[in-house]
Structure 1
């Protein structure tokens, strides 16, 4: 049942201006009033309230510029021709009531130009009366406030994403702890089984599902957090090459893959795992755009963008490492292109897409000071070009080992601090299986006691960023005071919790991780010089 609108007539001052004042102005030097109306930057119309349909009897050049309609096309018509499918019926009802009651009114309407593009119109309507006080005309002033409404929409979107970010951050730490346990013990169980064991295939499926869940969590965190949480660098070409095997498995046999990577491109100030996310999300998007098959081309190159470059108008000047992903798929129209980076926007069938892939890409790239360009037309495929500022030369992180089979052994003493017992058990199991001596602590207090009383060296401390009685960063400082030269590896299920500078004595590993990934990182930290 359609709800009934109960509208009250707007409360306005007496009809303005008073007839006596109009006569005085007309008798004086205000013959310039018509010229002023013609010169106004805002749109202006006058309607005849004495005739049916309230037709327009005057429109100024500002109205013609705003709407695209000429005076000849406008005069004699009711203002309804400016309305369209997204014009708010409630605002229209307010406007019509004011006209019936001969009152002034201000409304905001989505109106449509002659070319049917929309604009936000802040419309002010005022009645005009003759010498006897009878309303004979209405004056309408049209103000295009589209830029303000767009800023308002961006602000509302930012507020929505802040709420999503808080919700995501609130559950991410615990969720990633659970995934660390699931993925960790699954890998450990697989290591104990022969390849042809009946349970091996089932455990492999568990591991694959765990990795997919971890990937979804990373996507949620990538667009909801304000920063990456760590400052590190990656080689764009090496990381892209490292994704090739996984991409081939994902796109299937119907899509041809061409990978061309440049050399001597320097590094970019993005975590290698985030670079992988960019490459994989763009590749998956391209695959889904080619349901009947096609060609996916991924290339990297170095680019110097000068001032005023016509082909890079939206990219500031500088030196960039560039990733370009093109497909021969169905392409996109302008309306779709305008929305593809919105979180949760997807053109895929229900259940086939989260709408987070491209929003994740743009958030990572913007967080690194980069830019994303998209070129696409229906039936002509799509090209995404990602510009990442090249970083000052520095050692890059090793490319993550995507096989999951890399094993690093050691003999050193490692202190593991985590209040989540199953997560702590996974880490201890992984390290002991590779030859390390492991000390365990459930909170900062226990960790400091062990650091001060252990009879022998402690080479590395691994701590969650959030542990009872102290933060991981604060605990690291106290541990180093007790054990000068101690190296620290901080882990967390939500890397937005803290900013971490990786150096010779400190490093960061995001949860969820597998035993192999933990062992690889531990070995890398211990071997740093």
Structure 2
């Protein structure tokens, strides 16, 4: 039987079309299997796909009527076929021809759905171009000719005016133009640069192995190079840390194939970040020692309270203890942030039962937040190989945030389940929600949304720490949210094999 299953999986993985299987018995119908073609078509890895609902491929493009149609078919448990706009991991649009079929058990209940997708972008493009040709061939030629001229002029103006080093190369990596910022930053002249192959400039100072690999291997696939960090020691100007963005631009006619390279010098920024991290690390360590002493003295005073002491004295001492604890948590978070940035965060890896860890964390938080109902449902019976204390820290942070940012609600839902070879944990609140702009930065260090800054105190490092902890455990952490409708933070962790 196992041999047959392995054979079926091999057959699915060898298929050219993308295939997924979702579990209809679980909330939100999560993906529990995807074949290799699905990863190739979407650009996402297996670990980034498992646990998500299929709608994540539509990104912010949520007004498509096809979404309502497929939702209706799934709710009615019937087949459907649609053509829908999807988006790859790098943001590129592709048209998806999707077939969805239900899988029923012996009792006729739909337990799973099988989705088969094909990338029909080229067909859609051909259909669109055919319609354009039929409407007016002459108009099309005139518009494209004007577009070529305008695009070249526009590109030239951008290259010269942007306050960032920009290069335009042809398909053979020969420099067609370099803006003034590039010439000034790297101490070169136009005569030394324009018309020369990039890798042969100066004394071959731009013949950087990582840069050559980016331009020759990645760009030809039409994938842009985004925020790639390169460190190089240049003659005359010394060591530079640069952030490279490269795009392949396809025109027609004489301007066919251009490569645009934007180079941002982040040497000073990296040095400032290093100094800031050093300061945070030193300050946190220095504060930790006296704070521990203060905590001990407060505890000593609490044990020495005279029997006839006034109630206000006792209440004040208790408040001091609470605020010392808050300060201790804050300093611990700063220390964690410093360790993550320096790569010194330690993982104490041992097998542990994830269900028990989550249950214990929820129980502890329920005691400390009696005005909120934290509902836990689902189970996995799974064993995780990892740092139990750090995973508990993540769960604690997500639930605490759910309580903190839901001032008008007293309910938080925690759900755990298996998705393929992973455990998925979701924390749902019914609070203020997160805007699409803020979702893109929500896991950045020290990021806090503007409206949250005004209402709630904090440094904006809890989600950053949680994201890094889950990443260090080979899992993923993400958020789904709409403004005014609450948020669901979910993460996956690989299940320990042989358990």
TM-score, reference length from structure 1? 0.43
Q: Between the two structures, name the one with larger relative contact order (CA 8 Å, sep ≥ 6).
A: 1
Q: Which has the larger radius of gyration?
A: 1
Q: Which has the higher helix share?
A: 2
